Every structure is written in C-alpha cells, then in structure tokens.
Amino acid sequence: MKPFIIAKDLVHEYSRRDEDGNVTDIKRALDGIDMEVSAGDFIAVLGANGSGKSTFAKHLNALLTPTEGTLLVDGMDTSDHDNDLDVRCVAGMVFQNPDNQIISNVVEEDVGFGPENMGVPTEKIWERVEESLKNVGMYKYRKMSPNHLSGGQKQRVAIAGVMAMRPKCIILDEPTAMLDPVGRRAVIDTVTELNKKENITVILITHYMEEVTGADYVFVMNDGKVSMQGTPRQIFARSEELKEYRLTIPEVTKIALHLRKMGIELPKDILNEEELVKALIELKNF
C-alpha cells in the first residue's frame, strides 16, 4: 500500500521583504524533511520551539506550500493550488488556540461549518454533526455557546468540527499547549480513541513527551530537520540526545534512568507508571 503522506526533501523558507519587495532576510524553517506516514497510524512529531514543527503541520494542510521538494497527501501534490480544498477535506487540522478556531456562537453550528463549506446537503450535515459530537463526547453541550466551555472542551469541539468533514487524517498542531492537565488528558484520550475506533490517521505535533507515549511512531525535529525517528520506546531510550534537542523525557522515564544509574537493573525504555511499577516488582521478586 502506498503511504498516506510522503514528504521528499521538503524545504520551506520564510522570507522577509523590505518596502520595495526585495528579500532582506531568509529563514529556512524546514530543511529537507523526508517522511512517510501510512494510513491509520498515530504519528507524533516532537520538537522544541522553533524546530519547524508547526510549519510542517501547515504544509500538511496546504496552508503553506513547499519552497523546494514535494509533499504528497493521499496522492495529491500540495504545491498545486487546485488541490487545496481536496487536501483540506482529506487532512483536517486542529490548532493550538481553542478560541481562535471556533467560528460560531453555538457548538453544533461550529461543527457544521466544515460540512457547510463542502456543500454537504442539510440532513447529512445534521447526521455528521451529531455523530462527530458523540465521538468526542460533547453531544450534550451542542446547544451551548463555546464561551461557556473549558479549554479542553473547546478543543474537543474543534476536533469534532474537523471530524464532521470526514477526513482520513487529523493533524493536531500543539492542541494541548494552552490547556490544563485535565483538559490535556481529555484531548489526547479523544484523539487516541478516534485513531483506534475510526482508524483515522493522527499526526500529533507537540513538545510534551508524555503525550507521545501512545504513538505508533515518533519523529523528532530540530532546526528544520528530522533528527531522530523511531517508536516511543526507541526514542525515550536515547535521553541524552533528546536533551540536546531541548526536549525532556517524561518524569517516569527519568526516575527509571536515575535508578539505573544507581545500579538498579531496570529496562532502558520505561514509558509509564505501570511499567515502572511492574519492573520494580519483578526486581524485588528476584
């Protein structure tokens, strides 16, 4: 099967122009990205501020187009502007700030916004809105104003808004950066469930290592390049390298690491509390 997303030597440059339109400054935000994502995967893209991960996300949604190289989303070349709407229907995007991406005063109308734009018939819009609100567990809030919801709830509404467009893939650009821990958990759980149940390809862009543990595959970005890739276990085992890229491993992994340094025989790739507890119990039984 052909991969869902293929990036080849993807380069993006932001250029600053003076008043006469002459380029004064060029910043290379993406510097030769090669990436392949197959349909149905849960992919995480990790990176510190300024690593180019948000620029990459915008490329997947055809909001930005490559300066050099190619990016194919579901077989469509994003540099062709005739494909813009089709790419956006296939790969929906959720942004960081929950307030700035909700368009309507009523939750259900906001979820219906995407389908309305796509020209879906009225009855079908209602079906989709109902289904996607139920999928993210926000159905009982459908008549409310988004202003009365918490950040996490708003973000789930935004996810429902994307889901109502029936995309094959959701791109989440730091969806939890402005949320409290409870909202963060709810958003990540929702996304994980969509990935498992609806088989939606998820591309989660984040700098929180804790959110990456559930991913199938992780790309670490630094300075516009993919500097590491692998399963979460493989990535977390290389904590020294991560530190170089200004990323910190989850608390649990850190504790396990320190314990290892103190001479306790623990595996190198502990991801969550349960694994740590299990490993410790096993040690005790020896």
Partner 1 sequence: MFIVVLSLIELEINMIRDITIGQYYQTESVIHKLDSRVKIIATLVYIISLFCFNNFSGYILAALFFLCIVKLSKVPFKFIVKGLKPIMFMLIFTAALNLLWTPGEHILFEAGVIVITLEGIKKMAFMALRLIFLIIGSSLMTLTTTPNQLTDAIEHLLRLLNYIKVPVHEVAMMMSIALRFIPILIEETDKIMKAQLARGADFESGNIIHRIKSMIPILIPLFVSAARRANDLALAMDSRCYHGGRGRTKMKPLKYKSCDFIAYFILLCYIVLLIIIRKFVPF
Answer yes or no whether residue 65 interacts with partner 1 by CB under 8 A. no
Per-residue x/- marks for partner 1, 120-139, CB under 8 A? xxx--xx--x----------
**Binding partner 1 by CB under 8 A: which of 52, 66, 115, 232?**
115
**Binding partner 1 by CB under 8 A: which of 22, 24, 100, 285?**
100
Taking CB under 8 A as the binding criterion, the range among 132-140, 141-149, 219-227, 236-244 that sits at the site for partner 1 is: 141-149
Answer yes or no whether residue 102 interacts with partner 1 by CB under 8 A. yes
Residue closer to partner 1 (CB basis): 81 or 258: 81
Q: Is residue 184 a contact partner of residue 145, using CB atoms and an 8 Å limit?
A: no
Taking CB under 8 A as the binding criterion, the range among 14-22, 118-126, 206-214, 273-281 that sits at the site for partner 1 is: 118-126
Task: Please report the DSSP string for the chain in residue order.
Answer: ---SEEEEEEEEEEEEE-TTS-EEEEEEEEEEEEEEE-TT-EEEEEE-TTSSHHHHHHHHTTSS--SEEEEEETTEETTSGGGHHHHHHHEEEE-S-SGGG--SSSHHHHHTHHHHHHT--HHHHHHHHHHHHHHTT-GGGTTS-GGGS-HHHHHHHHHHHHHTT--SEEEEESTTTTS-HHHHHHHHHHHHHHHHHS--EEEEEES-GGGGTT-SEEEEEETTEEEEEE-HHHHHT-HHHHHHTT----HHHHHHHHHHHTT----S---SHHHHHHHHHHHHH-
Total residues contacting partner 1 by CB under 8 A comes to: 40
**Binding partner 1 by CB under 8 A: which of 6, 11, 39, 89?**
89
Amino acid at 214: G
Taking CB under 8 A as the criterion, which residues in 156-175 touch partner 1? 161-162, 165
Answer yes or no whether residue 23 interacts with partner 1 by CB under 8 A. no
Answer yes or no whether residue 49 interacts with partner 1 by CB under 8 A. no
CB of 29 to partner 1, least distance (A): 16
Answer yes or no whether residue 178 interacts with partner 1 by CB under 8 A. no
**Binding partner 1 by CB under 8 A: which of 11, 39, 48, 106?**
106
CA atoms within 13 A on the CB side of 110: 28
Answer yes or no whether residue 285 interacts with partner 1 by CB under 8 A. no
Rounded to 10 degrees, the C-alpha dihedral 187/210/231/160 comes to 10
Taking CB under 8 A as the binding criterion, the range among 104-112, 194-202, 209-217, 240-248 that sits at the site for partner 1 is: 104-112
Residue closer to partner 1 (CB basis): 166 or 252: 166
Binding residues for partner 1 (CB under 8 A):
58, 61, 63, 85, 88-89, 92-93, 95, 97, 99-106, 108-109, 112-122, 125-126, 129, 145-147, 161-162, 165
